[in-house]
A and B are shown apart, each in its own frame.
Chain A
Amino acid sequence: MSIHVDTVSFAAGNTLIVDGVSVAAEKGKVLGLLGPNGSGKSSLLKLICRLRKVQSGVIRLGDDDIASIPRAALARRIALVEQQATTETQVTVMDVVRLGRTPHRGPLSSWSTGDDSAVAEALSRVGMHDRAGQLWHTLSGGERQRVHIARALAQTPSELLLDEPTNHLDIQHQLDILGLVSRLDVTSIVALHDLNLAAMFCDRLVVLQKGRVIAAGIPEEVLTADLIAEVFGVRACVEKSAVHGRCNIQYMASGA
């Protein structure tokens, strides 16, 4: 196992946001986190990269408890792509992607050829290599998300966490980004809203509701009409897609 979340709980104030969650992410595979708004997906991702401290339970990276790994060492292994992180500073695509090398450099060490090739590789991975000089605020939402992914890839992580990376993107970019993630040779955990995209691109799924794990397994096992009705409150018809062979969900309008 690459990431192992073991009965982890986390509360903000008096509200339990993550409640005894256990999740395991297999090396090199894509794990999808599903669940309605406020089900604890983002919080769980933040706990895994130690932006928040677990209240109980333990999160292991390989064999190590993440609480015992120094911040910079952790950043060399886990990269996070946040939802809609933006800036008002005038920076270029290159400036942003180069940030990904931060955990690999000491405060005074100079920029190395290794850093250069990691950045170049990351930029071409997301198809932005010819846009390196472009200013951040001139990019579209999809381009910004790709730049964030390139920044995360420049960290050369073995684990990649993405928090709703397809939000606000058109369908072409949603497919592009998830296709890209599924082809990467890293362990990824992706929080998603779109059940069909999750079925298409994730190897395994975990469904959260009110901070608890309701279901876990391969998409065909997890995404059933009953579960969708229970968790999302929507009636749906689930079939095997003739196009890609994964399951395909058709929703029924509430009056139908």
Chain B
Amino acid sequence: MTQTVSRQTHGWALPVLTLLAVVLLVFVVSLAVSIGEISIPIETTVKAVSNRLFGTTFELSRIHQGIVWDYRLSRALVAASSGAALALCGVILQALLRNPLAEPYVLGISAGASTGAVAVMILGFGYGVLTLSTGAFIGAVIAFLLVGLLAAGAGGSGERIILCGVAGSQLFNALTSYIVTTSANAEQARGVMFWLLGSMSGVRWPDVWLAAPIAIVGVVISMFYARALDAFIFGTDAAATLGIAVRRVQIVLLGVTALMTATMVSIVGSVGFVGLVIPHAARFIVGPKHDRLLPTAALAGAIFMVAADIVSRIIIPQQILPIGVVTALFGAPAFAVILYRARRTA
């Protein structure tokens, strides 16, 4: 209780916390750029970035310049964007569905995006017209609609939504496996499996230009609806009596969630648990009000994902672990803790 009161009275706490989080994010990104098979001092990193951004002419080896700018920085920025976006999706879905377990991965949206991406990648659906990203996007939207319909048919609330998500995940994972086992050659199959578990190895600047703006759009739109999200705490009817245009808010925010999930899954693969664990951690730090929760979760998600990427690259020497494996190794126990806490407070 004291914790709750303190987070309402100390006006300075939030700006300081935000500043700390931004500093921490810059720090982990620099760390992510420095750490790797070829270790690069942070000083060199700063020089390389400055050369590209501000036209300075520090003398650096072309290899170092290339590794910093073309490989590691783009990768770190995509990690940060996708972490922020997935965490935001979790916050939004948990508020709209009033369920602490809601997130894109649990609701089967990531699985749908994977099926869509694999259909384009291996079956060549809409070849030449549809890119991997649009395939993932269509898959995510279909999964969203299907799980939504299932949930509406099943009575629409509480655990049922999660059960519908589980059913949806199973279906789409089965479809993905079906496509991979029947149509992919061995090399494709290995590539797909790696991508499905989350992989950032192919990430370059064009991915940054897709992921970062979508994450920023997600932050801006969800912040605009922060108060509306607060009003959903006692359900949709209560939100409507508080003057919220419930249907519009649902459509806009679920659309943004689908867009963010689909984009990130199409770039980094289906990474689980970020959207589940980060919102709860953020709520623990700044409380349930969305004007604070959304930016905190976005920053925390970004930091977590960049850190997870670092871990995935260094935990086994000479080998890169899929990032989804790392997030799941941290996320699954955290999921258990959340379930346990939910049982205690119920």
Evaluate contact between A107 and B241: CB separation under 8 angstroms: no
Interface of B is mostly: helix
Task: Given A89-B288, A135-B4, check contact A103 B100 (CB 8 Å).
Answer: no
| A104 nearest in chain B by CB position | B243
> Within the complex, what minimum Cβ distance (angstroms) separates A88 from chain B?
6
Query: Taking the complex as formed, is A139 at the interface, i.e. its CB lies under 8 A from any CB of chain B?
Result: no
Where chain A touches its partner, the secondary structure class is mixed
CA distance A79 to B238 in the complex (A): 10
Question: Could you tell me which residues of chain A, from 80 to 116, have a CB within 8 Å of some CB in chain B?
Answer: 80, 82, 85-92, 94-96, 99-100, 102-103, 105, 107-108
Contact between B4 and A74 (Cβ–Cβ < 8 Å)? no
A29 within 8 A of B: no
**How far apart sit A103 and B283, CA to CA, in the bound complex (Å)?**
24
Give CA–CA (A50, B345) in the complex, Å: 33
Assess the B245–A71 pair: CB atoms within 8 A.
yes
- Check if B289 sits within 8 Å of A51, measured CB to CB: no
| Binding stretch for chain A, among B24-32, B112-120, B223-231, B326-334 | B223-231
Contact in complex: A91, B1 (CB < 8 Å) = no
Q: Which A residues lie within 8 Å of B234 (CB)? A: 82, 85-87
Q: B227 contacts which chain A residues (CB < 8 A)? A: 102, 105, 107
Q: Is B251 an interface residue (CB 8 A)?
A: no
Asked if A155 is at the interface (CB within 8 A of a chain B CB), the reply is yes
- Least CB distance, A115 to chain B, in whole angstroms: 12
C-alpha spacing A26/B8, complex, angstroms: 40
Q: Are A49 and B241 in contact (CB under 8 A)?
A: yes
For chain B residues 307-344, which have a beta carbon within 8 Å of chain A? 342
Q: Decide yes or no whether A75 CB sits under 8 A from chain B.
A: yes
Number of interface residues of B (CB under 8 A): 31
Q: A78-B241, A87-B98, A103-B243 are in contact. Are A137 and B233 (CB under 8 A)?
A: no
Q: Is the CB of B230 within 8 A of A99?
A: yes
Kindly state the separation between the CA atoms of A107 and B100 in the bound complex, as whole angstroms: 25
Chain B neighbourhood of A72, CB < 8 A? 243
> For A76, what are the chain B residues with a Cβ–Cβ distance below 8 Å?
243
The contact of A51 among B100, B225, B226, B241, by CB within 8 Å, is: B241
List, in ascending order, chain B residues with CB within 8 A of A134's CB: 1
B237 near A71 with CB under 8 A, answer no
Given contacts A99-B231, A99-B233, contact A107 B225 (CB under 8 A): yes
Q: Would you list which residues of chain A between 150 and 180 have a CB under 8 Å from chain B?
A: 155
Q: Which residues between 121 and 146 of chain A lie within 8 Å of chain B, taking CB atoms? A: 133-135, 137
CB-based nearest B residue for A148: B234
Per-residue 0/1 for B92-108: is the Cβ within 8 Å of any A Cβ (1 yes, 0 no)?
Answer: 00000010100000000
Q: A95-B289, A135-B4 are in contact. Are A79 and B241 (CB under 8 A)?
A: yes
Q: Report chain B residues within 8 Å CB of A90.
A: 4, 283, 287-288, 345
Chain A proximity mask over B217-260: 1 for CB below 8 Å, otherwise 0? 00000001111101101110110111111000000000000000
Pick the residue among B8, B241, B289 that contacts A80 (CB under 8 A): B241
Cβ of B272 to closest chain A Cβ, rounded Å: 22
- Report the Cα distance A94→B8, complex, angstroms: 10
Check A46 against B288 for contact (C-beta < 8 Å). no
Interface residues in A192-237 by Cβ distance below 8 A to B read none
List the A residue with the shortest CB-CB distance to B346.
A88
Question: Given the interface contacts A88-B342, A95-B289, A137-B345, does A51 sit within 8 Å of B245 by beta carbon?
Answer: no
Query: What is the distance, in angstroms, from B269's C-beta to the closest C-beta of chain A?
Result: 31
Q: Are B288 and A91 neighbours in the complex by a CB distance under 8 Å?
A: yes
Q: Are A103 and B1 in contact (CB under 8 A)?
A: no
A108 — nearest CB in chain B belongs to which residue? B224
Contacts of A107 in B (CB 8 A): 224-228
In the complex the two chains form, is B4's CB within 8 Å of A92's CB? yes
B233 and A71 contacting across the interface, CB-CB below 8 Å: no
B5 at the interface (CB under 8 A from A): yes
Q: Is the CB of A85 within 8 A of B240?
A: no
21 contacts between A and B (CB under 8 A): A46-B237, A71-B245, A75-B241, A79-B241, A80-B238, A80-B241, A82-B241, A85-B234, A87-B98, A87-B233, A88-B100, A90-B345, A91-B288, A92-B4, A92-B8, A94-B8, A99-B242, A102-B243, A133-B1, A134-B1, A135-B1
- What are the 3 tightest A-B residue pairs by CB atom distance, in nearest-first order? A75-B243, A103-B243, A72-B243
